């Protein structure tokens, strides 16, 4: 019985864009188990403030060197404390948790679309898809659409490019790439499968798009969590049928067409 709870060593923790931090953790067991779309449930402090753990997507995992990467934006107390942690400290994590993106589809044209911090799980996904494609000799170019508030808050672009993806960038203020939203860019293309993560308005537009073009789509959702493992029923998200699902256990990845926004 695997105990999915670890004290991971912080190998690196640095700011990679405005308020965006990249933390590398040494945790061989979790690195081995992780699949794209899963998350870590992290204790940000060893005091009672903040009390609850914080869910953060796995942005990369390297089974060989036993490390996991996360990328997070400082938005409140928990992430502020995370950002103050130093190399060499250890951190209490539960995970990998959640279901992850299904990547076994035999498809040609894949679109990955992310907004802001929603980019994080997509990085790990992109890497796995690239590995799978190079193995299977599938050389079709896949597209990535990323949206950021502003150039200063952008990250990950070179990562996707280095994997061979065709990367399209937009920013709200036009300081980098197209001025607008990534959903504006994707409207010109057609795909067999879409993987998405980002703010709700972006996902709602993608849902309409995917339904219109009848494209199989998977989305990673966010909801406030307490336990992170399906025990408290705290992270409910309403589905078109079947009532509420738990983001932490049934998700965070869902079929986009089934979600009610």
Partner 1 sequence: MNNDRISCKQNTHKTDLSLEIAGIAMKNPVMVASGTFGFGREYSEFIDINNLGAIVTKGLTFLPKEGNPPPRTYETPGGMLNSVGLENPGVENFIKKEMPYLNSLSIPVIVNIDGDTVNEYYKIAKRLDNVKNISALEINISCPNVKQGGMAFGQDPQNAYEVVKAVKEGTNLPIIVKLSPNVTKVEKIAEAAVSAGADAISLINTLLGMAIDIYEKKPVFYRTFAGLSGPAVKPVALRMVWQVYDAVDVPIIGMGGIFTWQDAIEFILAGASAVAVGTANFVEPQAPEKIVAGIEHYLKEQFEENIRLNDIIGLAHKANID
Ligand X SMILES: Cc1cc2nc3c(=O)[nH]c(=O)nc-3n(C[C@H](O)[C@H](O)[C@H](O)COP(=O)(O)OP(=O)(O)OC[C@H]3O[C@@H](n4cnc5c(N)ncnc54)[C@H](O)[C@@H]3O)c2cc1C
Ligand Y SMILES: Cc1cc2nc3c(=O)[nH]c(=O)nc-3n(C[C@H](O)[C@H](O)[C@H](O)COP(=O)(O)O)c2cc1C
- Return residues touching ligand Y (CB under 6 A): 226, 232, 234
Spatial separation of the C-alpha atoms in residues 48 and 134, rounded to whole Å: 47
CA distance 261 to 250: 17
What is the side-by-side strand order in the sheet with 67-73? 54-57, 39-42, 90-97, 5-17, 20-26, 67-73, 60-62
Would you say 14 and 22 are in contact if contact means Cβ atoms under 8 Å apart? yes
Interface residue with partner 1, options 10, 17, 18, 52 (CB under 8 A): 52
Q: How far is the CB of 261 from partner 1 (least distance, A)?
A: 12
3-state secondary structure of 54: strand
Cβ-closest residue to ligand FES? Answer: 248
Q: Does 91 bind a copy of itself (CB under 8 A)?
A: no
Of residues 202-261, those binding ligand FES (CB under 6 A): 225-228, 230-235, 246, 248-249
Helix or strand (DSSP H, E) at 156: none
Question: Minimum distance between the CB of residue 55 and ligand Y, rounded to whole angstroms?
Answer: 16
Question: Strand, helix or coil at 194?
Answer: strand
Nearer of residues 78 and 156 to a copy of itself, judged by Cβ: 78
Q: Least distance in Å: CB of 171 to ligand X?
A: 18
Which of the stretches 22-30, 48-56, 103-111, 116-124 binds partner 1 when contact is defined by CB under 8 A? 48-56
Minimum CB distance to partner 1, residue 3 (Å):
6
Q: How many CB atoms lie within 10 A of CB 48?
A: 6
Round to whole Å and give the CA distance between 94 and 92. 7
- Closer Cβ to ligand X, 83 or 191, answer by number: 83
Helix (H) or strand (E) holding 209: helix 200-213
**Nearest distance in Å: CB 91, a copy of itself:** 15
Which among ligand Y, ligand X, a copy of itself, none contacts residue 232 (Cβ within 5 to 8 A by kind)?
ligand Y
Residue 193, φ and ψ in degrees, nearest 5: -150, 145
Interface residue with partner 1 among 82, 203, 237, 256 (CB under 8 A) is 237
Minimal CB distance residue for ligand Y: 232
**In contact, 85 and 91? CB cutoff 8 Å:** yes
In angstroms, the CA 188 to CA 174 distance is 19
Q: For residues 42-61, which are near a copy of itself according to CB under 8 A?
A: 45, 47-50
Of 80 and 149, which has the nearer Cβ to a copy of itself?
A: 80
Distance separating the N- and C-terminal Cα atoms of the chain: 37
**Which residues of this chain interact with partner 1, rule CB under 8 A?**
1-5, 43, 48-53, 94, 223-238, 243-244, 249
**Which residues of this chain interact with ligand X, rule CB under 6 A?**
39, 50, 52, 54-57, 70-73, 75-79, 117, 120, 222-225, 247, 252
């Amino acid at each position: 019985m695997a105990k999915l709870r670890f004290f991971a060593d912080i190998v690196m923790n640095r700011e990679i864009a405005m308020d965006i931090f990249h933390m590398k953790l040494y945790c061989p067991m979790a690195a081995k188990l992780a699949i794209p779309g899963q998350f870590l449930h992290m204790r940000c402090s060893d005091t009672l403030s903040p009390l609850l753990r914080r869910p953060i997507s796995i942005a990369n995992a390297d089974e060989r060197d036993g490390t996991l990467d996360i990328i997070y934006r400082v938005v409140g107390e928990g992430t502020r404390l995370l950002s103050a942690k130093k190399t060499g400290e250890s951190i209490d994590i539960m995970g990998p948790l959640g279901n992850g993106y299904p990547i076994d589809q035999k498809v040609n044209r894949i679109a990955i679309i992310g907004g802001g911090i929603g980019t994080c799980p997509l990085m790990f996904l992109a890497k796995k898809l690239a590995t799978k494609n190079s193995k299977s000799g599938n050389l079709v170019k896949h597209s990535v659409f990323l949206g950021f508030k502003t150039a200063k808050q952008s990250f990950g672009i070179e990562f996707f490019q280095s994997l061979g993806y065709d990367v399209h960038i937009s920013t709200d203020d036009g300081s980098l790439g197209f001025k607008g939203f990534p959903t504006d860019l994707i409207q010109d293309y057609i795909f067999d499968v879409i993987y998405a993560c980002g703010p709700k308005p972006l996902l709602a537009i993608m849902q309409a798009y995917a339904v219109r073009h009848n494209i199989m789509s998977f989305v990673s959702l966010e909801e406030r969590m307490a336990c992170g493992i399906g025990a408290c029923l705290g992270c409910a998200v309403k589905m078109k049928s079947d009532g509420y699902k738990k983001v932490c256990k049934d998700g965070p990845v869902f079929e986009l067409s089934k979600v009610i926004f």
